[in-house]
Chain A
Amino acid sequence: MSRLTVNKTYKLYIGGKFPRTESGRYYELKGKKGNLLANVSHGSRKDFRNAVVAARKSFRGWWEANAYLRGQILYRIAEILEGRAEQFEDELRAQGSTPAAARKEVLKAIDLFVHYAGWSDKFQALFSSVNPVASPHFNFSVPEPTGVVAAVAPERSGLLGLSSVIAPIIVGGNSGVVLASQSRPLCSVTLAEVINSSDLPGGVVNILTGMRDELLPHLSSHMDVNALLLCSDDPAEQKLVQGEAVENVKRVRLHPDAPLDESPYHILDFQEIKTTWHPVGV
């Protein structure tokens, strides 16, 4: 018997919910043969504003969650990704990847979450120090999360690029608002579903889809965004972001338009070093 297919609605992910864009706009995503893959939410600056509010609200709770728990939650993201690998492969293939490349990308994304899950309770020890000082004090320097981080995921990679941006931001205790690839947005919504069922508190990760050139100025000018990660090869975009970020001295990190490799230094990118003096006892 024939049946009507049930097509997925690709929405945004803000504050642990999946709203449509408040603007009501969408754009059509076409496959290789010009077939319609999906109507993708064309997020607006107000969606971004709402996402920042959600991220700010969840930041402190996530920061104060213990490192072990953060690692467990990241590991759980990997677990659920593994179970839904096929769906991601299908989406990657629909957006132009070969079956082998799609398979490889999904596996790498899973491994990436496991990699960062492991770092959750170790990077702090690695990047901390006890400093020699010329007075009777202990002097420690320890990393603390920067706050709300906005990120522009690589354009040329649908799943791995997005994952490689999200994982190091959140494992360090930040909350994030991530703009997904405009031309490869399908995996972003599915990844949001994975994240949503992983016990990550709502608002820690917010994922938007939409037009990069439209949203980029707002990402970089928002006063309540503490840091910004831009994956781009375009000097004009880099200049725009750096210029706008000046107003509230946002920390800006630039990366090429490709997935970030697995490295604890990407965690350190969104950590601030806090130094504490403590008198030496008897």
Chain B
Amino acid sequence: MSTPPIFPDLRILSTIDQVGVEERAQRFQARSIKKESKLSALKLAITMLDVTTLEGKDSPGKVRQMCAKAMRPLPEDPSIGPASAVCVYPRLVRVAKEAVGESGVKVASVATAFPSGQSRMKERLSEIRYAVGAGADEIDMVISRGKLLHGEFRGIFDEVVRCKEACGEAHLKVILETGELQTYDTVRVASEIAMAAGADFIKTSTGKVQPAATLPVTLVMLEAIQDFHDRTGRMVGMKPAGGIGNAKLALQYLVMVKETLGKAWLTKEKFRFGASSLTNDLLMQIRKQQTGRYQSADYFSKD
């Protein structure tokens, strides 16, 4: 970025209408998408996946297996996928990078003392540098929610700015962990700060805290993205993560993105799903559309 990021004027934010947002989000759940539209939406959703594994038991073998699936989700049908990225812990970035090779699938790594962020800034930044050095194309950072709730907005801003610097060429996704932010207003403030500080994406959740992504909270963030774009002309991406377990819900998210931000955001450069179990449900729904038969999990690889 040529000009240094400027702390946003938070006075321009109005209060979020909680009931209004939830009602609006509810409407998206009443849509019915059928036939060809459904099939193309399912295929689009596959290409927007950040296929994720963030567990203590992750091993190089599991990551390689996951990468293979991200590159070619449905072995019998090369027209499906590939997914956008695989998302792993820093130590497994090298393995993932090697596995995806030149396939175009990106490697994302969580960093900055994920999922709590409760560590010194020095270590958090060095974690980013380590992941980027190992070949990560994208960094998913967490903000210090404690600080945010304490009102230290400028501290959060500086945190994101420094992480963005540490990323260098890598894209930065900022995880707000909305499940810990208590109100939509705080979510909105956090979104503004993260975007002003240089986030390429804002992301709802780590997946380690309940509730994770929900339609209403994503809507609040999408509207923040919209306003930010109107003011600055910069398109920030959105990544809901955690709790999106089935294809039906994923399609509702796509409809919401389309109707809030427009078609320009319906690409993997601007919208991602962070999910571990969504892939198979999308694949099963695609097979259902193609064959007319309801599918069984028995016929799809587990990882």
Contact = CB atoms under 8 A, between A and B. Distances in A.
A93 interface: no
Interface string B138-177: 0000000000000000000000000000000000000000
A49 interface: yes
B298 A224 contact: yes
A218 B299 CA distance: 18
Contact of A218 (B294, B295, B298): B294
A223 to B, nearest CB: 4
A175 to B, nearest CB: 14
A221 B296 contact: no
Interface string B205-218: 00000000000000
A261 interface: no
A185 to B, nearest CB: 24
A50 to B, nearest CB: 10
Counting chain A CB atoms within 10 Å of each CB, the highest count among B292, B294, B295, B299 belongs to B294
Contacts of B295: 223-224
Interface in A76-118: none
Contacts of A248: 296, 299
A148 to B, nearest CB: 9
A52 interface: yes
Contacts of B297: 56, 224
Interface in B254-303: 292-299
Of A221, A223, A224, which is in contact with the most chain B CB atoms at under 10 Å from its CB?
A223
B277 to A, nearest CB: 14
Of the listed residues A52, A222, A224, the one surrounded by the most CB atoms of chain B closer than 10 A to its CB is A224
Nearest to A46: B294
Interface residues of B, number: 8
Contacts of A221: 292-294
B294 A49 contact: yes
Contacts of B293: 221-223, 247
Contacts of B292: 221
Interface in A198-240: 218, 221-224
Contacts of A224: 294-298
A224 B297 CA distance: 7
Contacts of A49: 294
Nearest to A224: B296
Contacts of B298: 223-224
Nearest to B294: A222
A223 B290 CA distance: 14
A52 B293 CA distance: 13
A248 B291 CA distance: 13
Contacts of B296: 222-224, 248
A224 B284 CA distance: 11
A140 to B, nearest CB: 25
Which of B293, B297, B299: most chain A CB closer than 10 A? Answer: B293
A224 B293 CA distance: 10
A52 B298 CA distance: 14
Contacts of A218: 294
B28 to A, nearest CB: 19
Nearest to B296: A224
A221 to B, nearest CB: 5
B297 to A, nearest CB: 7
Contacts of A247: 293
Interface string A251-281: 0000000000000000000000000000000
A200 B56 CA distance: 37
A70 to B, nearest CB: 24
Nearest to A220: B293
Nearest to A48: B294
Query: Chain A CB within 10 Å — which of B295, B296, B298 has the most?
Result: B296
A36 B59 CA distance: 64
A96 B298 CA distance: 44
A218 B298 CA distance: 18
A52 B299 CA distance: 16
A128 to B, nearest CB: 26
B118 to A, nearest CB: 37
Nearest to A49: B294
B248 to A, nearest CB: 11
Interface in A115-147: none
Nearest to A221: B293
Given A221-B292, A223-B298, A248-B299, 19 more contacts: A49-B294, A52-B294, A56-B297, A221-B293, A221-B294, A222-B293, A222-B294, A222-B296, A223-B293, A223-B294, A223-B296, A223-B299, A224-B294, A224-B295, A224-B296, A224-B297, A224-B298, A247-B293, A248-B296
Interface of A: 49, 52, 56, 218, 221-224, 247-248
22 contacts: A49-B294, A52-B294, A56-B297, A218-B294, A221-B292, A221-B293, A221-B294, A222-B293, A222-B294, A222-B296, A223-B293, A223-B294, A223-B295, A223-B296, A223-B298, A223-B299, A224-B294, A224-B295, A224-B296, A224-B297, A247-B293, A248-B296
List 10 tightest A-B contacts by C-beta distance, closest first. A224-B296, A223-B296, A222-B294, A221-B293, A223-B295, A49-B294, A223-B293, A223-B294, A223-B299, A224-B294
